[in-house]
Amino acid sequence: MIKYRSRLFFTVQFLALQAITAFSQGESGWTWRNPLPQGNDLWDVAYGNGRFVAVGTEAALFSTNGLDWEITTTPAKGRVGHVAFGNGVFVGQVNMFGVSRGPSLMVSTNGAQWAAVELDNYYFLVDLAFGNGQFVATGNGVTVTSSDGTTWVVHKSAYGLYNIVFGSGKFVALSGNATYTSSDGIEWVEHKISYPGFTSLAYINGKFLATALTEFIGDFTRVELIESRDGANWSISSPAFPYPGPLKKAYNRVFSLGNPQAVTLDGANWNYLQVSGEGTLGQYTATSFAFGGGLWVAVGFGGAIWTSADAHEWSRISSLLKYSRKI
């Protein structure tokens, strides 16, 4: 009897997982009921053409006001890790971890209908930025560029570039203990640094900000905020920011996704993000931010969505998950 009940329990559990998977993928007529608007992790959000577009793990949503969201489908076969807007279109960059290969990129004019981008081969891309009239996506030994999000040119590279941003008329990307600068995303100049390595990058107020591994102390590493005016020469930021986390740029702000999460307008003075009824926004919650139509929108794990008038005080508009998530 005990063995039978155990099998029954795991059978029910397995069937429940299958149902949840179909539910999260929008298959077979399933509709999200809790949380709302949906519960898959959201990794990035952008604003353009009068609407917000959010993407994530088997998730894509759009909203014209930041408050009411519609779920849509995409050709992606993995996590859509980044979305950028430029020249009238949204481009999504797809991370395919442990799934069958699909498109590395996808494009949309409205965030509702998406088309797969066909490249000449499969490329593992990791980040995406728009500047100087074109999109640049970086990956392992390759960069790909496009002005319209549909037609892309592949450029082989000796570098494995990740985390790319645009500012002061140039693209800056990271790789190991070096930064790379480019005006077009095709030709890159390497700049070695004295720190062991970088972890993230952003641009604000005429300077680039980065989180860098500056020292190894036994089994621990010291992570500090550093800055640069040209993307090549770096120094530790002053005043020092005590809790630097991964950096995300949105409009005229940079957000630090540390614990607690914080925002800056000038790269020097930081304010912690406060959520009405929940307190300080902690680590592993919000993942990306966007501004449009006079409203700030943040997205995060478990499909969480917040809005704000000032990028400091936030209100959750998505319903709460009934479980906790750790990564």
For 191-237, what is each residue's pLDDT tens digit?
998 888 888 999 999 999 999 887 776 766 788 999 999 999 999 98
For 84-133, what is each residue's pLDDT tens digit?
999 999 999 998 655 556 688 999 999 999 999 988 888 889 999 999 99
For 10-52, what is each residue's pLDDT tens digit?
333 333 333 333 344 444 467 777 778 888 999 999 999 999 9
Which of 79-116 are b and which e, b meaning 16 or more Cβ less than 10 Å from the residue's Cβ? Answer: bbbbbbbbeebbbbbbbbeeeeeebbbbbbebbeebeb
Give this prediction's pTM: 0.86
- At 244, the pLDDT band (50, 70, 90 cuts) reads confident
Angstrom distance (rounded) from CA 209 to CA 104: 28
For 172-191, what is each residue's pLDDT tens digit?
999 988 999 999 999 999 99
Per-residue pLDDT at 283: 60
Please provide residue 302's backbone torsions phi and psi, each rounded to the nearest 5 degrees. 65, 20
Dihedral angle computed from the Cα positions of residues 141, 146, 151 and 152, in that order, rounded to the nearest 10 degrees? -10
Q: By C-alpha distance, which of 34, 122, 96, 106 is closest to 72? A: 106
Q: Residues 291-312: what's their mean pLDDT?
A: 95
Angstrom distance (rounded) from CA 42 to CA 304: 7
Domains defined along the chain, listed by start: 40-316 (2.130.10.10)
**Inter-CA distances, 138 with 88, 95, 104, Å:** 21, 12, 11
Higher pLDDT, 277 or 57: 57
Higher pLDDT, 7 or 229: 229
Per-residue pLDDT at 232: 95
Per-residue pLDDT at 20: 39
3-state class percentages of the chain: helix first, strand second, coil last, to nearest 5? 10, 50, 45
